[in-house]
Amino acid sequence: MYRKDLEKTLRITTLRGKEQLIETKILPYLGEKGLTEITPLGILIWQNAVQSLTTSNGLPYKESYLRTIGNQLCAMLNHAVRYYGLPSNPMSRVDRIGSKKTEEMHFWTKDEYKRFSRAIMGKDLSFMVFEVLYCLGIRSGEALALTPADFDLKARRVSIMLVS
């Protein structure tokens, strides 16, 4: 019901992100319960389980991602209160997990990048990849998705497209 209610108002990428989070972080723990069966204690148990999850390389999730997961469950329950008669949101009686603050991003200065690029200049592939990242200001995932067709050498352009 939640998905159906939101699918007309959200972009497909936003909807898919919500679905992935719900399917992997919420439903495995709370999916068998009816909305009225979800209690503050049940949420506390769920929070502890979510906080013990790790990424594919074994690292704990960042505090800001834990907050996002908790916010998604809270939004679902608020939706049920607003539209489906759930008496109250049990999350309102539980402390939130995670943190609003995201980790600060650190950017290299031009001089720092020049020092780094001189150090890898003999490694052609690494040098080219980092030149693309630095000069275009793109993320590593965007660079990894580039193909030769994305480069227009005559126009001196690179096309970076959202693929859904």
Residue 130 contacts by C-beta under 8 Å, 6 or more apart in sequence? 116, 117, 120
Q: For residue range 146-159, list pLDDT tens digits in order.
A: 889 999 999 999 88
Q: CA 93: distance to chain centroid?
A: 26
Confidence at residue 1, expressed as pLDDT on a 0 to 100 scale: 83
Distance set, CA 154 to CA 2, 122, 157, 158 (Å): 48, 27, 8, 11
In one-letter notation, the amino acid at residue 91 is: M
pLDDT at site 82: 96
What one-letter code names the amino acid at 18? K
Q: Where residue 137 falls among pLDDT bands split at 50, 70, 90?
A: confident
- 140/50: higher pLDDT: 50
Three-class SS of residue 9? coil
Write the pLDDT tens digit of every residue in 19-76: 999 999 999 999 999 888 999 999 999 999 999 999 988 999 999 999 999 999 999 9
Nearest CA among 158, 151, 110, 155 for reference residue 134:
110
Asked whether residue 141 carries a pLDDT value surpassing 90, the answer given is no
Average pLDDT over residues 84-92: 95
Structural domains of the chain sorted by starting position, each given as residue range(s) with its CATH number in brackets: 1-92 (1.10.150.130), 110-158 (no CATH)
If pLDDT is split at 50, 70 and 90, which confidence band does 114 have?
Answer: very high
Query: How close are the terminal C-alpha atoms of the chain, in Å?
Result: 23
Buried b (16+ CB within 10 A) or exposed e, 96-120: ebbeeeeeeeeeeeeeebeeeeeee
Q: Is the pLDDT of residue 105 over 90?
A: no
Residue 135 banded pLDDT, cuts 50, 70, 90: confident
